[in-house]
Amino acid sequence: MAVKRGGLGKGLDSLIPDNGKTPAGEKKVKVVEKVVEKIVEKPVEVKVKINQVEPNRDQPRKKFDEDALQELADSIRQFGVLQPLIVQEKEDYYAIVAGERRWRAAKMAGLSEIPVIIREMTDRELVEVSLIENIQRENLNPIEEAVAFKRLLTEFQLKQEEVAERVSKSRAAVTNSMRLLKLDERVQQMMIDEQLTTGHARALLAIEDPELQFQTAGRIFNEKLSVREVEKLVKNLGKKKTEKKEEDPQQKAVFQDLEERMKAALGTKVSINRKDNQKGRIEIEYYSIEELERLMEIFIK
Q: Confirm if 123 and 82 have CB atoms less than 8 A apart.
A: no
Cβ contacts of residue 110 below 8 Å, gap of 6+? 77
Q: What phi and psi values does residue 268 have, to the nearest 5 degrees? A: -155, 170
In the structure, how many helices (H) and strands (E) does the chain have?
A: 13, 7
DSSP-assigned beta bridge partners for residue 281? 273
- The set of catalytic residues is 100
CB-based burial, 118-149: b 16+ in 10 Å, e otherwise: bbebeeebbbbbbbbbbbbbebbbbbbbbbbb
| Euclidean distance between CA atoms 294 and 48, whole angstroms | 71
Q: What phi and psi values does residue 26 have, to the nearest 5 degrees? A: -105, 105
| Euclidean distance between CA atoms 270 and 73, whole angstroms | 66
